[in-house]
């Protein structure tokens, strides 16, 4: 790549993703939804988040297509909504696992992590139950790449600016 040009970060996918889910509560809401929370009170009680803040975060996640709002009504009550992960929301699971691995490595309590992600196959006679971990793999099938073995290159949507 020309040393006088650099990739413009204006259309960076990392920045775009963080603008959507980079706020602390957003990924915690997704984490709870993955663990089965669907109702407003479930999220509020599990997270200890203020109702107005939770409402705003749920609205933004619905607007972004991470959650879908599904109406329900219990007998004698007004209509309310459940929140279910969309495909876009479910695709955040590896991101949460990566954050968990990093947090366990650098921030866990001395006695160890509070949660271990394990292999589970719904409907199987028995589960493997081995801990799950993420790894980097290239499209050619080279697996378990160390972070030092990867680098950024311009993609088809890259825009360039002159280096100062």
Q: Is the pTM of this model over 0.85?
A: yes
Token match 């479910």: residue? 90
**Domains of the chain: residue spans and CATH:** 5-151 (1.10.10.10)
Residue 14, CB-side half-sphere exposure with 13 Å CA sphere: 3
- Please report the pLDDT score of residue 2 as a whole number: 65
pLDDT < 70: residue spans in the chain:
1-3, 164
Spatial CB neighbours of 130, under 8 Å, sequence gap ≥ 6:
118, 119
- Please report the pLDDT score of residue 37 as a whole number: 98
């Amino acid at each position: 790549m020309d040393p006088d040009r650099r990739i413009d970060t204006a259309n960076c996918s990392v920045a775009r993703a963080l603008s959507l889910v980079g706020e602390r509560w957003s990924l915690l809401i997704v984490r709870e939804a993955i663990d089965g929370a669907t109702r407003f009170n479930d999220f509020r009680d599990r997270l200890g988040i203020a109702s107005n803040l939770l409402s705003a975060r749920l609205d933004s996640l619905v607007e972004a297509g991470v959650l879908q709002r599904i109406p329900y009504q219990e007998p004698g009550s007004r209509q309310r909504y459940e929140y279910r992960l969309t495909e876009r929301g479910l695709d955040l699971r590896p991101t949460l696992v990566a954050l968990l691995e990093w947090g366990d490595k650098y921030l866990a309590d001395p006695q160890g992590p509070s949660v271990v992600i394990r292999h589970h196959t719904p409907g199987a006679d028995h589960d493997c139950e081995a801990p799950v971990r993420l790894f980097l793999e290239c499209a050619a099938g080279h697996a378990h790449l160390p972070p030092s073995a990867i680098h950024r290159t311009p993609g088809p949507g890259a825009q360039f600016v002159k280096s100062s």
